[in-house]
Amino acid sequence: MPRLSADQRHTVAFTLNGLPVDGVAEPRMLLSDFLRQTLGATGTHVGCEHGVCGACTVEVDGMLARSCLTLAVQVDGASIRTVEGLAPAPDRLSVLQAAFRRHHALQCGFCTAGILMSLDAFLKANPEPDEAQVRDLLSGHLCRCTGYTPIVRAALEAAAELSAQDTAACQEEPAHA
């Protein structure tokens, strides 16, 4: 196979979970491969590699994207968030991640990173979802292990907990004179 010359490769630089990163990518390299192989960010999983299973879902500039359908060169200069960026600290899970653990919402875990990314964005936009809305969101993700019910329970419980936290935070805000 012919090697690409230097002018056919591109330096790609972006922010990954708040930190600057860069690497060299061939023009057709997928973002999923760039994250996993070049940057070693293996939390993002790759399943179908053609946009169907949702396992590779990440956030690009605040919008969900299938990293197997995105070229690395397309995200030069962007802000990328992956499952590694969900936890508030290395020794703490996010509310959603903790609910997944309590409800056994993962088995092999192959689908989990993508589902967490989608649900994290969904719960920000829909703080009080019902079960039908959560199931509708999950229709964009394939899970071969759980039967989805524990994932739905975890999502609804996380939504309730996040909503209670928001209410408590509002009540703690000092009244303006």
Q: What are phi and psi of 16, to 5 degrees?
A: -115, 110
**Closest to ligand FES by CB, 41 or 106:** 106
Q: How many residues does the chain have?
A: 177
103 neighbors 150 (Cβ within 8 angstroms): yes
Q: Does 106 bind ligand FES (CB under 6 A)?
A: yes
79 neighbors 15 (Cβ within 8 angstroms): yes
Distances (CA, A) of 83 to 49, 107, 130, 170: 18, 17, 24, 28
Q: Which residue intervals of 13-148 are DSSP H helices? A: 31-33, 95-102, 112-125, 131-138
In sequence order, the β-bridge partners of residue 28 are: none
Please report how close the Cβ of residue 170 comes to ligand FES at its closest, in angstroms: 35
Radius of gyration of the chain (CA): 18
Please report how close the Cβ of residue 151 comes to ligand FES at its closest, in angstroms: 8
**Closest to ligand FES by CB, 12 or 143:** 143
Q: Does 129 bind ligand FES (CB under 6 A)?
A: no
Chain positions 44 to 73 lying near ligand FES, rule: CB under 6 A, are: 46-49, 51-56, 66, 68
Q: Which of 100, 119, 146, 156 binds ligand FES (CB under 6 A)?
A: 146
Q: How many residues make contact with ligand FES (CB under 6 A)?
A: 23
Q: Does 164 bind ligand FES (CB under 6 A)?
A: no
- Please, which residues have CB within 8 angstroms of residue 109's CB and are 6 or more apart in sequence? none
**Closest to ligand FES by CB, 13 or 108:** 108
Chain positions 8 to 47 lying near ligand FES, rule: CB under 6 A, are: 46-47
| Site of interaction with ligand FES (CB under 6 A) | 46-49, 51-56, 66, 68, 106-112, 143-146
